[in-house]
Amino acid sequence: MTGKNIVTLMALDFEASSLSVESWPIEIGISWIEGNQVQTWSSLIRPASVWNRADWSKQSEAVHGISMSDLETAPTVEDVAQQLMPKIEGFILVSDAPRLETNWLSRLLGAARWAPSAITVEDYDAVSFAHFDGLALDFLYEKLERMRVPHRAGADSARLASGWLKALQVREQQKSG
């Protein structure tokens, strides 16, 4: 991971039906740094027919604020995967919960009949420590601490990418000043 350019990293976040082992993704968000800005794409996900609707958690719904009725007209798993795959090409996916995100990404791509085996999700902290140190790393985590976690996939992935952007800015200021 060390030596990779930060602009090849993409923050990934999902919201899900629950936190059980049978849970399925209901929203995806990805964010990356382009130029001097964070770019984000997100989508709700209509539940696939193979996913067990009984795994819907009212507690999770209370956290993310997405209702089952919100998903009735959401894009299908096939449509979401078709939009997602070209966007992530060439990027290294990174998450603050890689085990969960890998599971939900696999469920999404599997239901859409894409081959998810080649895609891995790296750990946000490990990647951040590999790319930054000192003051830049301090500012990265300070930025994250000061930002509310909205529990919506697009905003949550943007929060992670904004930490990287802040660290990049601090590192550039240190070099120039």
Question: For the segment 1-25, what is each residue's pLDDT rounded down to a tens digit?
Answer: 334 588 899 999 999 999 999 999 9
Give domain status of residue 25, yes or no. yes
Mean pLDDT along residues 42-63: 96
pLDDT of residue 4: 55
Q: Which domain holds residue 161?
A: 6-176
Residue 1 placed within a domain = no
Q: Is residue 23 part of a domain?
A: yes
Q: How far apart are CA 102 and CA 91, in angstroms?
A: 15
Residue 60 lies inside a defined structural domain of this protein: yes
Where does the pLDDT of residue 119 fall: very low under 50, low under 70, confident under 90, or very high at 90 and above? confident
How many domains, in total, are found in the chain?
A: 1
Q: CATH number for the domain including 90?
A: 3.30.420.10
Is residue 117 very low, low, confident or very high in pLDDT (cuts 50, 70, 90)?
A: low
pLDDT score for 60: 95
> Which value, to the nearest 10 degrees, does the dihedral of the CA atoms of residues 111, 105, 60, 40 take?
-120
Asked whether residue 129 carries a pLDDT value surpassing 70, the answer given is: yes
The answer as to whether 100 is a domain residue is yes
CA dist 131 to 7, 114, 160, 167, Å?
11, 31, 14, 9
